[in-house]
Chain A
Amino acid sequence: MTDAGRHPRITIHTLSEVTDIKGHVGNFEVKVVKKARYVDEAACTACGECAKVCPVVRPDEFNIGLSSRRAIYSPFPQAVPSAYVLNPQECLGNNPVVCSKCLEACEKKCIDFHMSDQTLDLRVGTIVVATGLTPHDPRPLDEYGYTRYQNVLTSLEFERLVNAGGPTQGRLMRPTDRRTPRSVGFIQCVGSRSAKRGKSYCSNICCMNTVKSTLVLKEHYPDMAVKVFYIDIRAFGKGFEALYTRSRRLGVHYVRGLPGNVEELPDGRLRVAVENTAGGTLEQYELDMLVLATGIEPPAGTQKLQEMLGLQLSSDGFFLEAHPKLQPVDAATRGIFYAGCAEGPKDIRESVTQASAAAVRAIRLMQADRISGEAITSEIDPDLCKSCGKCAEVCPYNAITVDTKQKTPAQVATAACSGCGTCAAECPFGAITMHHFTDPQIGGQIDALLEREPATKILAFACNWCSYAGADYAGVSRLQYPPNVRLIRTMCSGRVDEDFIWQGFRNGAPVILVSGCHIGDCHYIDANHWTVKRIEKVRKKMEKRSIRPERLQLEWISAAEGIRFAEVMARMEALRQSVTAQEIADTVAVLSKKG
């Protein structure tokens, strides 16, 4: 921590949040709002005189409310930056009549009530997302009486109580009577490994964290009765099994089974009823204190950041890597990397390993002052362009300029174009070529696919980032689905031209699927909004031409939704079977007439 604070090349912005990100690898423009600290970070020596005189007492977040702090405070003794911070919501205010005692106490005059939030515009080449975790909150489900019984704690609260720098200087005490408990029980998997109660995934760290806590207890209080209620102990890492064995050898009692019921006794002790599945017996224990080994969840704001950066989330809500084995720290978006629990629950060693990997992946891009950009961009033929302005309207990157009044042909700023192809799909005059996904290239695929026995096949368009990746995920998971589906990959569902759909139906396709990222998840900001509009438009036209609009389907399938992909394919097959040969023949006749 202090190394990072001291490093000449690291600038730390605390109390800061990203509010907007534009641009691409090599040139991300990031807007950061830095909230006012009301204390001059550089001048403050953390002498603490201000806090001594502050009359406002509030629960201390760092100690999870187990101790108190003032309205002006140091987050914790080793904080970096080592400066006090003032909470303006709690402070009585800059009014000498009301208070302002801290102003008088501060010799260096670091406190400034007039400080205001700053907006910083920063330009960076790469981004490492290390947004961490939030511990599972046991309150909504009120498991094991956490909200009702004071002597039931979370593992993080316990952590603060045994910490020498914590509110009790490391002396463990029961909240009800401030006595050292003679018996402590740990309940594992709280908020983890249960779809009904919390999250279905394993939070990875809780088993070893509990083993560690039992060792801390046995070291300080050898006579304390320590019990652990568990489903199974996952001690898979290097040196983990040795710690677990040590814990058992020191007399920690491991009971296989999660308590069904916890009740408080008049003296504050807790009675735990548990089915011990190792022996098949129903057992009861009376314990002075219970610790809930709470799981790890994605922090608040994950989704907002995901939308800003155009990233993907796995079904657990953590950030999704470009490839689980071969690119485990890369985001699918070039220039963005993951480190730590942002990508999934992990312990410190794994977080550090991943962080170093992310750093090297970022350096790999940053080591030269130029990198190669996106080759798949669009190009406008000035002879065909009628300057209608549609392309400029739909471009998510404002990469196209056109003067609709002067009738000058539209132009693409190639450096800003990301290659979604929405402009090419929307151009009414066929003036735009989307390189590498041109009309003839995709048209050729459609013709080839429907050349023989078209009535037996399902034509599906899938965007590269979500739906195509979802199809790959279905494959990796070996999910079986109807084999008559044929996928055509486009970079974005926004590329799927109305003409592709007509061409498919004209060639005898019974059904057509267009699939892309969920709304809000589009890799090209919001290009898939145009997909929605276009599909609605085409369906209306289908209706007018007496073609059943259901034969054209639009589905959002994310990269993590392999199961959903397989389900959608099964649905498409059911739909295909509902389309009669006569229907197809009629459609072909109608569309061929239209030319």
Chain B
Amino acid sequence: MSKGSRLINNSLDRPAVVTWLMIGVAVVIALAAALPSLPADWPVIAQLQPVLRKMHRIRVDTDPENMLSPDEPVRVFHDEMKKTLDLHDMVVIGVVNDENPNGMFNPASLKKVHALTAYAKTLRGAVIGEPEGQGVIVKDIIALSTVDNIEPSSAGVKFSWLMRQPPQTEQEALKIGQNARRVPFLDGTVVSDKPGREGKAVAIYLPLTRKDLSHKIYLRIRKKADELGGPEKFYITGLPVAEDTFGVEMFIQMAISAPAAMLVIFVLMLAFFRKLLLVISPMIVAMVSVILTMGALIIAGFPVHIMSSMIPIFIMPIAVLDSIHIISEFFEKYQLTRDRKKTIRTVMDDLFMPMLYTSLTSAAGFASLALTPIPPVQVFGMFVAMGIMVAWLLTVTFIPAYIMFISPRKLENFGAVHREGRHAHETMLTKFLRWTGSMTYRRAKPILAITMVVLVIAGWGISRINVNDNPVKWFAPSHPIRVADRVLNDHFGGTYMAYLALRVPEKEFRNDQQREQFVKQFASAVSERAETLKGENPAVTRVFEELANSARTLVRKAKIPSEVLKSLAETIERKQGQVGEPSAAPIESGPPALPGGLDVSGEGPTVPTPAKQDQLVKSAWRSAGLFISEQVQDGEIFKRPDVLEYIIQIQNHFKSGGTVGKTNSLADIVRTVRRDFVSGKQEDYRIPASKSAVGQMLVQFQSSHRKDDLWHFATKDYRTTSIWLQLTSGDNRNMSRIVRNLEKFMRQTPPPVPMEVNWFGLTYINIEWQARMVWGMFNAFAGSFLVVFLLMTILFRSALWGLLSMIPLTVTIGAIYGAIGLIGKDYDMPVAVLSSLTLGLAVDFAIHFLARARAMQRKYGSWEKTSGAVFGEPARAIMRNIIVIAAGFLPLLLAPLVPYQTVGALLAIILLTSGVGTLLLLPAMIRLIEKPLFNPKGKTGVTCSCVTCIISAAALFALIMVNLHMYIPLGGNVMWIVAVIVVAVSAVGCRLLSNRQACTHDSAGNREGVSK
């Protein structure tokens, strides 16, 4: 009696019930997933709204930032700094003119740039179908027509718009170019500066309120650019565009790749079995599995991410695998009995356990992705695992039911046809397999020797693996975004933004002693100042004394010194008779309310006049105000000339090599203003000697059309500053190198003030999740390896068989990753994800091979005889599977998105390799260790063999540790001690278990079975 026969009997006896049940569930899930996302004003949908509103709509998430969970410190910091410095993700438009000798700086080209910028300003709110306030942030657009020019002229320093209106003459146009190149902030950012390409291109930077608006903005800009026409070329890039566009194309991909995969599989199956009616059934299984899985994903409220969009393409080929085995055997055996029921029963007897285990191992491989600390990968793993088990259930229930629907008349030629009609071809495959079988028997040792050589080369290749990713490279090289990326980075300082945050937080008072210390210093500074002023104004003595006293009271409650100073400043304002906290006027439309002091008649209530103060006392308080302001400004670290010089050193360090094309900083602003105030000459491009001069430069900088630009570079307390980096490459590898090199630089050249150094920006975030991915994937791989091993040991009731089944896939994965290292393909997100799921897929072939080999060995007695039989029907089924599943992933190669291509190509190669590996390595291994493998004393039950039991226990323990250490940091020593204890305990336990009654009894029974 086979396991699960009740399940199968059900299908055989009540095929209609089983079929309708499946269809019913699929329809319900599909509706529950789709309805909430349909337009709410559709007739039936409208009535269902009360229910639908509570359900999840389809959410799409294309943001690689979400590779990290939102509470990851690096993301929290990124968001915090973006808010603090009012920075936003930017779309970058580049306009290039290669035909005009003056590049872009001619009236016609600049007119287009002007028009495009003006158009970009309108891309917000209703114009782009978004709520008010969403879209392009107009005040922060960086473009020729939105920035200021500072210019020393004979009439004095001149502040003006760089290009308020498009120029009328060539001269004017050239002048704009010259001016732009003079301003360090603009050169290499807004106007191209690369040697030989100076002025050939200009850029427009559009900061967005949300980066998921990028694609919308992208399409509109694209259209406008087409209207503007040539000879200028328009390019649009920037990480947000890449990320958002990827999301849009991902859906197109889903709609193309999945059906294409289905078609390929369908055609192949038709070629193998020549029975359209029968071949449709696995297609139904695949489709229903996809519907159920994606439906469940949406209903559960998970977003469709780059990863989860690949779920259908993974489930489809895997879902048909088991069906192929069933049909394949049914195909071979039907003509023997011509009885559907009987044939299916025999087939399912043979296949039920291997199918269950192949599904379980595949599912385990995917489920292990839940071990990675990357949320979208976790979701992907769990749902593919679910989909595989759904597909298994459907295969063992629906396929038998479906076969029962086919009338025997229609099956008359089935199988028989193949024997005659495809005789030649069939013999070829059969011949080939038979030859392979005997070859593995005769040449077992050379096969294993070659394998060892492959493994050694692979090991070397793996050591050369290059961990790297770059969302822009997710597009094929010919994609407009890739092209734009290349062109713009050839012209400008770079379009990838990363930011370095330098912070010197104020030290908190840790105890009252420190408070006292502060007050003491403060009081002595106060009295010193009072001393110098009292000659001029005797009232100062009393006023400053009051100041010191207030400080003594205020410090008690203060957490930081600046709190005391702030309160003192308020006290001083009150003393000068000024109103306290300013209150904003309400922002309402309609006629304004009358201000205090006015009524309709013109008189109104008088605003109380503060009591007249002695002029001297008032002046003394004014001096006190200045004194406090000085104290406050002492804390403004990033106005200090020495600190600004250090920032310049950092910038020079970045410039000294690598992919940093350009940097912008507070120091550059200060230097530029100073240069143009003093002489306009390059020799005056430097930091002034005093801090107050720096302060004055910054006030002048703010006296512009863009007063708030300063706050992108410093916070208002000047304790945080940011250096902008423009990188010419978004490769994580390059960003990592920049981070490492800076650490080294700062160790060698310490800053004048200890400061916190942190990175933020999209380019940096990418390296953070990548680091997690590499280790996360390693954990997932270790986890799934152990799970699969345990499952194999349980299936075969032997650790030796378990290990044997792991060999082909281990060699395959080693070889593939070695090859990746050797050919220099980057280890990126898709490659990383593939490692653990390959495991679950590749072991399938081994399971089928070994399960059938073991069963046949019982029949034939020796491997020499068994080998021939195994290379008959079982090997043919495996070969068919290898071809179908490998080909099923090939349509991904047609995708214009690189991750899909990678997955498609790699999976096909991996499956081919592991299939071939299975058919070569396993028989060769079996040949060598035939004796211990087919030991007639073999006991059933994992716990019955002491060795198997101990190894299983150790594997289980290791599995638990791999899982646990993600959440609990355990020291290496602790782990080893626990490991030794666990192994010792399990050894004793296993000894007892294997000697128990059940085992001896069972093994006796087994021996009987064998001898029979």
User: Is A bound to B?
Assistant: no
Give me the interface of A with B, judged by CB distance under 8 Å: none
